[in-house]
Amino acid sequence: MARTLLITGASSGIGAACARLGAAKGYHLILHYGRNRDGVEAVAEGVRAVGAEVTLIQADVGDPADVARLGQEAAVADPSLPLHLINNAGIVDVRASLADLTPERLTRMFAVNITGAMLVAQQAVALMRRGGGGGIVNVSSTAARKGMGGQYMDYAASKAAIDCFTIGLADELAGEGIRVNAVRPGLIETEIHAKGGEPDRLAEIGHTPPLGRPGTADEVAEAILWLLSDKASYTTRTIVDVAGGR
C-alpha cells in the first residue's frame, strides 16, 4: 500500500534526511518549508531522481492560518493515505540568559515550536482519521532534559513541551491505532548551530558525548523512520534519545 509522509521543516538538516530516507522506502512525500525554497527544491530534486512523488507546501507554522492552509493543501496533494507525520519544523535563537529574553523572542519561539507543532498534528490527525490511520513522530531535543540555562533555555522549554505533548497525544490516539512517538536528537551535524549563532559549536563540544562524536542527520532519520514503520507497530508513547549517550 502506498503511504504518504508529511515532513515539516524539510529544506535542510533532519527534515531533509528524513525525506531522502522516506523516498528510499517508497513513501509519497509532502515536503513543507518555511523560507528556504532553494533548499527544499534541492531536496525535492534529489528524491524525485529516485522515483519519489513529491509535493512542496510553503507555510509559516507560527501562523495558525498558514497551518490550516497547510492541512488543506496536504489533503488534496496526495490521496494515497494512510498519512504519516514527521513534526520537525522548529526554530532556535542566539545564546541568551533569562535577563536577555524578550517577550517577542518567547512569543515567536513558542508559536513555532509548541503551538505550531500542535496545530500541525491536529491537521494531520484529521487526515489520518479520514484516510485510515497513520503515525506521528515529533522531533524534540535533548535540550528538554538538560534545561540549557544561560544558553537556550526558551528553546529547551519548548522542546520539553513537545515531550509532554507526545505522551498526551499518544494516550489520546492509541485507541484509534495512531501511534505517537518522539525523538530527542543531541549534538547533530546540522545548520541549527549556525542559526543559533554558534557555527563552531560542534568543533568545540562535538566530542563530549560518551560515543565521542556528534551525530548525523541520517542517523536521526533512521530512528524516525523506524518509529513510523511496521517494525515499530507495538511502540507508542515513547521518546527515543539519538544523542550518543549524552
27 in catalytic set: no
Q: For the stretch 201-212, what's the b/e string if a residue is b when 16 or more beta carbons lie within 10 angstroms of its beta carbon?
A: bbeeebeebeee
CB of 47 closer than 8 Å to CB of 100: no
DSSP state of 208: -
Report which residue type is found at 173. L
φ/ψ of 192, rounded to 5, equals -60, -30
Sequence-ordered alpha helix ranges (H) in the chain: 13-24, 37-48, 64-77, 103-110, 117-131, 143-146, 153-173, 192-195, 201-205, 217-228
Given 27, 33, 152, 155, the catalytic residue: 155
Burial zone of 242 (CB within 10 Å; 0-12 exposed, 13-18 middle, 19+ buried): buried
Task: Enumerate the active-site residues.
Answer: 155
